[in-house]
Structures are given as C-alpha cells and as structure tokens.
Amino acid sequence: MQSVSPPRILRPLLILISTAVVLVLVGTVWAVAAFVTRDTRQDIDLAEFTNEHRDGYIFEALEGVHDETHRLCADIDGCIQGYSGDRADFRKFATREAASDFAATTPETYLSNWIVIEYTDASLDDADRSRAEAYVDSLAVSD
C-alpha cells in the first residue's frame, strides 16, 4: 500500500504552524515561571517609608524621610531610588548585586535585598536600627 503524503505546498505550512504552536507553548511556560518565581520585594517603593505612608509605625531611623533620588543616586551604579531622612538614607537598586556592592563599600549600612540603609546619625542606637531593619525586611513578604 502506498503512503499518502500531503501536497507539497501544505508541508511548509504545517511545519510553520507546528513551529508557531511550540513557540507559543514555550513562551507561555516561560511567562508563568517568571511570574511565579518573581520576588515581590523588588517592587518596594521607598515612598512607603515616608511618614504619611507608614501606617502608624514610628521609627527614629525613618523620621523626616523624603525623596532625594537625584542626590543620593548620582554616580552610584544601579541606584534607582533614594530617600533621605534625619538619621538615615535609603537607596533602592535595580539588582541585588548592585545593592550588595554598594553596601560592601559603604560604612554604617544594612542590606535588605534591593534596599540599602545607610545610617547617617551616630546617635541612633542599636535598638532603633534593629526596628528599622526589621521593618524594611518585613515589607512585601507574605506569611
């Protein structure tokens, strides 16, 4: 018995359709994986640190916090947002690596993923620092 094959013109069309279906499936799997594994802490907005956005949390390290991105991020690789307060500066970085690099070369800092706290007032005691660090570490984290 002779095998029946599709006409010549249909063969490239079938290959093209099959390739498109495979690409759509691979793209869908990639998009779902990226969404599921995305760390929401990278979406933290430092504006949450301002007095009107803290929902009653009062920490000395966060007093007087206001946007200073232009000044704090000037010439700092990967810095995308900066807020300055009376006792500490807060910088957000595009990557954890950039944040880690900055924290490693800057004294009096605390690294929390994409955010670096730089303490600018030596009078801030360890308890106040710990409370501020715990607050930053708890943002955008699910139970």
Identify the pLDDT of residue 137.
Answer: 87
Residues 52 and 119 both lie in one domain:
yes
In a domain, 1, yes or no: no
In a domain, 57, yes or no: yes
Report how far residue 55's alpha carbon sits from residue 42's, in angstroms, rounded to the nearest whole number: 21
Residues 31 and 54 both lie in one domain:
no
Name which of 78, 86, 63, 143 is nearest 111 in CA terms. Answer: 78
Q: Could you tell me the residue range of the domain that residue 11 belongs to?
A: 7-38
Residues 14 and 78 both lie in one domain:
no
| pTM > 0.75 | no
In a domain, 128, yes or no: yes
- Return the HEC string of 9-38: CHHHHHHHHHHHHHHHHHHHHHHHHHHHHC
Helix (H/G/I), strand (E/B), else coil: 54 = coil
pLDDT per position as a tens digit, 81-120? 999 999 999 999 999 999 999 999 999 999 999 999 999 9
H helix or E strand, kind and range, residue 53: none
pLDDT per position as a tens digit, 30-69? 877 666 656 667 788 888 877 655 555 567 778 888 999 9
pLDDT per position as a tens digit, 112-137? 999 999 999 888 889 889 988 988 88
